[in-house]
Chains A and B, each alone.
Chain A
Amino acid sequence: MGTRGRRRDEDSQTRTLDRLDQVFNWAHENSLWPLFFGLSCCFIEEAATLTARYDMARFGAEVMRGSPRQSDLLIVSGTVFKKMAPVVFRLYEQMADPKWVISMGSCANSGGMYDVYSVVQGVDQIIPVDVYIPGCPPRPEALLEGILLLQKKIAARERPASPVLRREGGTEGSVGPILIDGLSKSRDTRGPGYEGVPKRGTSITPPLFPGSRSDLMWVPPAPRIRLSDADRSLLSAVAERFGDAVRQIPQTTDMPTLAVDAGSIRDVLSYLKNESKPAFERLDDLTAVDESARRRRHPECIEGPICNREVGFSDFTMVYHLLSYNSARRLRIKTALRGEKPSVPSITGIWPSANWYEREVYDMFGIGFEGHPDLRRILMPPDWEGHPLLKSYPYRATEMAPYTRFDAEAHRSLDAKYLVEGAERKDTILLNYGPQHLGTHGVIRFVLALRGELITDVGTDIGYHHRAAEKTGERQSWHQYIPYTDRVDYMNGVGNNLAYLNSVETLAGIKVPDRAKYIRVMLAEFFRINSHLIWVGTFLHDIGMMSLNFYAFREREQIMDIIEMITGGRLHPSWFRIGGVAADLPNGWKGAVEAFTSVFAARIREYEKLVNRNPIVKARTVGIGPLTSREAIDWGVTGPNLRASGVEWDLRRKTPYSAYESFDFDVPVQSAGDCYARYLVRVEEMRQSLRIIEQAARNMPPGRHITDEYRYTLPDKKDTLNDIDSLIHHFINVTRGPKMPVGEAYAAAEVSRGEQGYYLVSDGMNFPYRLRIRGPDFANLQVLPRTAIGRSISDFQAVLGSMDYIMPDCDR
């Protein structure tokens, strides 16, 4: 045979390989098996893509697989957290070959709006990516487009026949390079090409903001509350009992505040909980403030004359927020601490719920707690260095060493045996339940100690979804922070907008017009229904009833359309503004709302028909995971979980905000405290929300959608086109951002999961000095999973499902 014959031979071989390539590619592209994997907000849109309206099954990627062994497509939907990155890497490695990766949403693409210490700036730094889908979050259509693109990529670029036959050459699956931040990928947040241009002016560089022009602006002082007689008698009783150890802080905008010496903090809090009148039964929140970057401590940063230079700031301040159920009043206790690593007595003996809160303060500030039973990190990984909420800690991921594939391989979560008791027993098996698990509804890790199927202990490891929302608050202007609040609870973003704005408006004494209040209430209730719909669908799915999910998503999409019509967004509208909302209601809103309200009551009845007399649902939920009202109060449980335990407490009724006082609605309460009671409360709440929406639509007052006091707000666009005053405010508030008066405010809103409180500390700047989020799920998750101890593993899933927690709100 000559060369000619050999060439003919090679030609025919190439042809055969080509044909094989086509066959393999056809098979690959039309049978993609996505892993059931989600990190944060984007996964909600991914889940919507599975349901009837978008019907992902049309494109050959039908069933999400529960195990990486059965999947070949990883859709990284959401933020890749540094604590979670080793898990993502591990999942990818455990998937079957050949495999593909779709990076869904801005966070997975590049870190998105989370350029913060806890977030990997793009999943392509740890695993190769085939398709990037932009959006925050991308709509379901965008995900479908991404899958189609991946199919095209497989058909056009891959040559799997050679690797399958173990020959040289050819490609299959992802081969894209793994990028290194700063080397093969631009680290500049402005995009490539800006090298040499200094980043971010000093006036917006935390923590000191040197030369900020906010110092030159004048704002009226923060409003001051008037103490009631009851407040005064409480304060005098405390003063009598503790003398000099307790002082009242005169200037407060939201609630009476006491400064207490660190040494007597335990006695004072114990007195307030058990003996005082009224008794403050609940520890609402416990946190700290790093005082080292206070404006008046750093006169060198202030441009212009410095008046009223105060000295004597402490180094840290501990802040305790208390709540009295009987009188619906709050009280703030502050304790000044000095030194670099100070410590303070632990109050876990007074409120068991203080356990996690004190661990968080230790994790974030390095403050010690004497007498704490288990003081170790809670949100950050166990081998993390530094305390992120210190003012001296880096604010951005791009200021830190890049996160690489090596880091993802080197770090791992704490071993399960450190998280539960009785791990050393021979008959005990430890089971990791999450962070990647279908039943955990978000990245949280439980460790179950099991004897057979009996749960003998439950350990909870949180922080996999720590998105540094509080640290971000210290470098975003008051307005810029609104989109971050949406993402604190991706099922109920509007509820968080409202909770945050409640605090801002309290701090500056901003009056919101009635129409804006009504619009806010209407949207907040839509989102409450939306959140409860997803909850009822997934909860019943968890205990084996699949059908309701499909009904729930049908109604959810109808609501999404209304939200989109009004705000232009779906999951995260970010549509509320300081002093009102972004725009007036569009033409035709009423028809869309009425189309929903006219059918939804019947839809709820339909759900109840499916569920309420279903013996299997009852057997799985009645008497499971009970929580008594005493325990619920002691552990700071809020929201429907609290009301299911027989405590009639709803902030919309007890301390009305945003016009809730003018709505007629009931607060559903159940006494059993078990999973079924939690179901009953939430279904009834949907009905009540429907009533509120109907009233809001019917009685929508005329008038402005945003306040005409433009000092703090983004003016109405048409005013800015007509008068120079509005235009100046528009200019200042859009670019530099409004300056807020010096002070602090805590206000809470009743969101779908419980009480969402925002504690804002202002140092008179265009950025918050400290922004603290009190989320309901941090408290709920501390106690509720433990109600499954002594029961079987299937009951654990029912308890988890019934709680309705969401991880960005717990880990923030």
Chain B
Amino acid sequence: MESLPQSTAQLMSPWNPGVFALAVYTCAVIVMIALLLYITGHLGPRRENPIEESPYESGIPPTGSARFLYPVPFYLVATFFLVFDVEAVYIFSWAVAFRILSWIGWLQMSFFIIVLFLSLIYVWKKGGLDWGPEGGVGTRTRKPGL
């Protein structure tokens, strides 16, 4: 029973990184994709049809192109996500070295988190988290007139 850790290790597959398996896998993927591309390109009748090639939009020919000015909030949300996601990287690495860094590290980390927290509150107050381009959904007055 004392050899439990060893038997557990035997249960798991050993970590033997090898190039062969990766190569086989890569080849399989390439062959598969090539085959699918070939089949779709060379099998089945080909018909030229402008209606079929135009975009589907509820059965009506679309107006305007899909390349319009994209509203900023989509980027804002993406940026905020990145900024606040990166903080997690620092916090995790600090957790690993928690004992080595001692109380000094703790103080520095707390300062870091507080600054981030304050900036989150700032972004929130500024309306950066509200959805929609004009100060968020539901803030505009509606007009059920024609």
Contacts and interface: CB of A to CB of B under 8 A. Distances in A.
Interface of A: 67-69, 87-88, 90-91, 93-94, 97, 163-166, 172, 352, 355, 373-374, 412-413, 415-417, 423, 426-437, 445, 451-454, 627, 631, 635, 782-784, 786-792, 795
Interface residues of B, number: 37
Interface stretch (B15-23, B69-77, B121-129): B69-77
Nearest to A792: B137
Residue in A163, A417, A454 with the greatest tally of chain B CB atoms within 10 Å: A454
Contact of B63 (A164, A166, A416): A416
Given A412-B61, A453-B131, A792-B132, A94 B45 contact: no
A437 B145 contact: no
Contacts of B57: 431-432
Contact of A433 (B47, B49, B58): B58
B141 interface: yes
B142 interface: yes
A462 B34 CA distance: 48
Given A416-B63, A453-B132, A786-B145, A93 B43 contact: no
Given A352-B146, A452-B133, A790-B142, A94 B56 contact: yes
A102 to B, nearest CB: 18
A443 to B, nearest CB: 9
B62 interface: yes
Contacts of B60: 87, 90, 412-413, 416, 432, 435, 445
Contacts of B61: 90, 412, 415
Interface string B81-122: 000000000000000000000000000000000000000000
A97 B144 contact: no
B49 A93 contact: yes
A302 to B, nearest CB: 46
Contacts of A434: 58
A426 B43 contact: no
A417 B133 CA distance: 21
Contacts of A428: 68
Given A434-B58, A789-B142, A452 B73 contact: yes
Nearest to A429: B68
B69 A426 contact: yes
Nearest to A453: B132
B51 A94 contact: yes
Contacts of B133: 427, 451-452, 454
Contacts of A789: 142-144
B73 to A, nearest CB: 6
Given A453-B132, A454-B133, A786-B143, A68 B45 contact: no
Contacts of A782: 146
B52 interface: yes
Nearest to A782: B146
Contacts of A787: 142, 144
B145 A352 contact: yes
Contacts of A453: 131-132, 137
Given A90-B59, A429-B68, A791 B137 contact: yes
B142 A791 contact: yes
B5 interface: no
A429 B66 CA distance: 8
A407 to B, nearest CB: 15
Interface of B: 42-47, 49, 51-52, 54, 56-64, 68-69, 71, 73-74, 131-134, 137-138, 140-146
B74 A68 contact: no
22 contacts: A91-B59, A93-B49, A163-B44, A164-B44, A165-B43, A352-B146, A413-B60, A417-B64, A427-B69, A427-B133, A429-B68, A430-B63, A432-B58, A434-B58, A452-B71, A454-B133, A783-B144, A786-B144, A790-B137, A790-B138, A791-B138, A791-B142
A352 B145 CA distance: 8
Contacts of B59: 87-88, 90-91, 432, 435-436
A353 to B, nearest CB: 10
A93 B132 contact: no
Nearest to B69: A427
Contacts of A627: 144
A432 B56 contact: no
B72 to A, nearest CB: 9
Nearest to B138: A791
Residue in B47, B131, B133 with the greatest tally of chain A CB atoms within 10 Å: B133
Given A427-B69, A432-B58, A454-B133, A790 B145 contact: no
A51 B145 CA distance: 40
Contacts of B138: 790-791
A168 B3 CA distance: 72
A216 B138 CA distance: 66
B143 A792 contact: no
A790 B142 CA distance: 6
Given A87-B60, A453-B132, A631 B144 contact: yes
Nearest to A461: B60
B133 to A, nearest CB: 5
Contacts of B69: 426-427
Given A374-B146, A427-B69, A166 B45 contact: yes
Nearest to B62: A432
B141 A790 contact: yes
Nearest to B50: A93
A434 B56 CA distance: 11
A437 B144 contact: no
A433 B71 CA distance: 21
A68 B46 CA distance: 18
Given A94-B52, A166-B43, A452 B132 contact: yes
A166 B44 CA distance: 6
B63 A417 contact: yes
A433 B60 CA distance: 9
A445 B145 contact: no
Contacts of B71: 427, 451-452
